[in-house]
Amino acid sequence: MSRAALYDQVGTPDVLSVAEVPDPEPGPQEVVVRVHAAGLNPYDAKVRSGFLTLDAPFPRRIGSDLAGTVEAVGEDAHYWDGTPIEVGDEVLGRGAGSIAERCVAQAAGLARRPAGLPVEVAGGLNIAGLTAVSCLATIPIGAGDTVLVGGAAGAVGLVAAQLARDAGATVIGTASASKHEFLRSLGVEPVEYGDGLAARAAAVGTVTAVIDCHGRDALDAGVALGVSPDRMVAIAAYAALREIPAHNVERAARTAENLAALAQDIADGRIVFPVAQTFPLEDVAAAFEALDSPHAPGKIVVVS
């Protein structure tokens, strides 16, 4: 038996508790991971709160990002490059109900954790990192672009902004004032979000592309600035995408190969991906309270 975060009804973070569950067994192309770090994502909170509905029975487990050690290997479990996954491997990626001591993970969703990448950082990278990679796969960015990134200090926005910078673009990022100095240190020109965003962005440069990683205001600014909808992508502005024919983020780039490359970039210091706060597994409800606050401090990771 081992411990896992569970909830048996949707609601506020206090529906979460930690209970003993049977240890999982890996099926074909699966492994069992002893999870050491599991990042929280807004998606987890949206499902837990009932904002997004899921056709899954209660009690439910929660979480899908992880970093940990492979404990058991199912038949034909290998990495994206064809090499076998072995017991004892340090991995990061996607798992089912990862806010737990142990969970099952599909081999196809795992990458080796590079030496030098702290386990807490690795544990929070999967969804945010691959969503950022996917934004740039959806609308390729290059030198000559001036990209407006909405929510640039958030987990997805921060990676997207740095990938755009590394592609040679000028990057303008919306964030609250307390995050401006940090964004500047990464080569991103910060602006406040909210009313007047289009004018603030235009004062920096001629915007040629938009990556909206929060809500709709970066998309609206793009429209106001005459950016072609084909050069705009959004990850969370579901209602706006019914009015503005911008791209919804595509899924094809969410591969373990891309995760491995991004993890290496972070291990080598080319991309910064800070963890703001860690919580022990038994404090999972407090971790989600921190995530639910209007200006979450940054990436939150549960360690076990």
Residue 190 interacting with ligand NAP (CB under 6 A): no
Which residue reads 């990626």 in tokens? 93
Cα distances (Å, whole numbers) of residue 282 to 6, 18, 57, 263, 279: 11, 6, 23, 28, 8
- Are the C-beta atoms of 249 and 181 separated by less than 8 Å? no
End-to-end CA distance of the chain: 15
Determine the Cα–Cα distance for residues 126 and 227; give it in Å rounded to an integer.
30
Determine the Cα–Cα distance for residues 103 and 97; give it in Å rounded to an integer.
6
Binding residue for ligand NAP, selected from 13, 97, 124, 151, defined by CB under 6 A: 151
Cα distances (Å, whole numbers) of residue 31 to 24, 82, 218, 251: 9, 15, 40, 23
* Closer of 45 and 73 to ligand NAP (Cβ): 45
Angle between helix 217-224 and 197-204 (nearest 10): 60
Binding part of the chain for ligand NAP, among 20-28, 53-61, 116-124, 213-221 by CB under 6 A, reads 213-221
* Closer of 128 and 209 to ligand NAP (Cβ): 128
Q: C-alpha 139: how far from its chain's center?
A: 18
Residue 129 interacting with ligand NAP (CB under 6 A): no
Binding residue for ligand NAP, selected from 85, 128, 147, 210, defined by CB under 6 A: 128
Determine the Cα–Cα distance for residues 161 and 148; give it in Å rounded to an integer.
9
Residue 131 interacting with ligand NAP (CB under 6 A): yes
Residues 224 to 263: which contact ligand NAP by CB under 6 A?
235-236, 249
Residue 215 interacting with ligand NAP (CB under 6 A): yes
Residue 296 interacting with ligand NAP (CB under 6 A): yes
Residue 153 interacting with ligand NAP (CB under 6 A): yes
Smallest gap from residue 174 Cβ to ligand NAP (A) = 5
* Closer of 121 and 235 to ligand NAP (Cβ): 235
Residue 154 interacting with ligand NAP (CB under 6 A): yes
Smallest gap from residue 94 Cβ to ligand NAP (A) = 12
Residues 6+ apart with CB under 8 A from 286: 13, 279
- Beta-bridged to residue 227, according to DSSP, are none
Residue 155 interacting with ligand NAP (CB under 6 A): yes
Which residue reads 């401006």 in tokens? 180
* Closer of 32 and 209 to ligand NAP (Cβ): 209
Smallest gap from residue 150 Cβ to ligand NAP (A) = 5
> Coil, strand or helix: which one is 278?
strand
* Closer of 79 and 288 to ligand NAP (Cβ): 288
Residues 266 to 295: which contact ligand NAP by CB under 6 A?
295
Among 298, 258, 272, 250, smallest CA distance to 166 is for: 272
* Closer of 169 and 253 to ligand NAP (Cβ): 253
Q: Site for ligand NAP (CB under 6 A): how many residues?
A: 27
* Closer of 65 and 89 to ligand NAP (Cβ): 65
- Amino acid 40 reads L
Residues 6+ apart with CB under 8 A from 109: 93, 94, 95, 126, 256
Residue 172 interacting with ligand NAP (CB under 6 A): no
- Beta-bridged to residue 97, according to DSSP, are none
Smallest gap from residue 235 Cβ to ligand NAP (A) = 4
Which residues in this chain contact ligand NAP in the complex, by CB under 6 A?
A: 41-43, 127-128, 131, 150-151, 153-157, 174-176, 179, 193, 213-215, 217, 235-236, 249, 295-296
